[in-house]
Amino acid sequence: MSRDRLTEKTEKFTGELEGKRAVVTGGSRGIGAAIVQRMLDAGATVVTSARNPTEQTPSAAKFVRADLSTPDGVREFADIALENLGGVDIIVNNAGGCRTFQSALDIEKDWQYTVDINFLAAVRLNSALVPSMRESGGGVVVHVSSIATIASYPMILHYAAAKSALETYNKGLAAELAPQGIRVVALSLGNVMTPGADEAREKIVDYLGNDSVDWSDEIPLGRIGRSDDIAEAVGFLVSERAAWITGSTLVIDGGRTAALS
């Protein structure tokens, strides 16, 4: 979707997040950049992070270089975010991904990094930032997960396991924080057209030794997702329109997992 069309779609929500302070991880490109822009379009002030910015990184957001796969990287980013925002109303834990495709038995290859970036980064960031939500009396935490937790793929079992842990954590955190007015929700994403996902699909093709994969074949709606499909869902979930939604995991996959049942 073009930037003009996305702007038209979100015009009616302009100002919906006015005065809100948002932290979005992995916001330099793809889904993360689209979420950052969606927050900005709705009036929020946004601090975002990644290892490096790209041409897709929204310039109106405060960008922080950070490696969230380490405790120190999370701590430093959280400190900068709080210093710039003075507090946080919205956290979107989007950073993650899968950089290797391997046998489920290859425990020494990339398991720790995969768990750190896809699960523990969110746990650590929430621990650093949620107290500011408690002080202000409310907020929203969003965790970006994957349908890999449902549609098991052996070559990314380390990634699926980390995201499964994230979804379990999402439910428990929601139960703990609901009495304090803090909502916690997750998104389980299917195949989305982003630079990172494009790289992953190429690696999967190499791993399988099959260069004729049509990724849209398995999706009932007939197309791979777009970043703005996800950003619009996040825009809804962090708004007052979703005020009675917490502890849920919203599947956004064009019907892929529905077709499995």
pLDDT, one tens digit per residue, over 112-169 is: 999 999 999 999 999 999 999 999 999 999 999 999 999 777 889 999 999 999 999 9
Is the pTM of the predicted complex or chain greater than 0.85? yes
Query: Is residue 123 within 8 Å of residue 143, measured between CB atoms?
Result: no
Rounded CA separation 60/57 (Å)? 9
Catalytic annotation on 159? Answer: yes
Pick from 65, 75, 51: nearest CA to 196? 51
Residue 204: phi and psi, rounded to 5, are -65, -40
- Residue 102's pLDDT is 81
Assigned token pair, 28: 């330099």
3-state helix, strand, coil in the chain (%, to 5): 50, 15, 35
- Residue 225's pLDDT is 95
Rounded CA separation 205/18 (Å)? 44
Confidence band, pLDDT 50/70/90 cuts, at residue 1 = very low
Which residues in 67-209 belong to E strands, given as ranges? 90-93, 139-146, 182-189
Q: Give the three-state DSSP class for 249.
A: strand
- Residue 109's pLDDT is 77
Q: Give the three-state DSSP class for 76.
A: helix
- Residue 10's pLDDT is 52
Query: Which is the catalytic residue, given 113, 153, 159, 169?
Result: 159
- Residue 76's pLDDT is 98
Q: Give the three-state DSSP class for 93.
A: strand
Mean pLDDT of 59-74: 98
pLDDT digits (tens, 9 = 90+) for 162-221: 999 999 999 999 999 999 999 999 999 999 987 776 776 666 666 666 666 666 778 999
> What DSSP character marks residue 216?
G
Q: Are strands 45-50 and 62-65 parallel, antiparallel or unpaired?
A: parallel
CATH superfamily assigned to domain 3-260? NAD(P)-binding Rossmann-like Domain (3.40.50.720)
User: Would you say residue 100 has pLDDT above 90?
Assistant: no
Percent of the chain with pLDDT over 70: 87
Dmax (CA) of the chain: 54
- Residue 45's pLDDT is 98
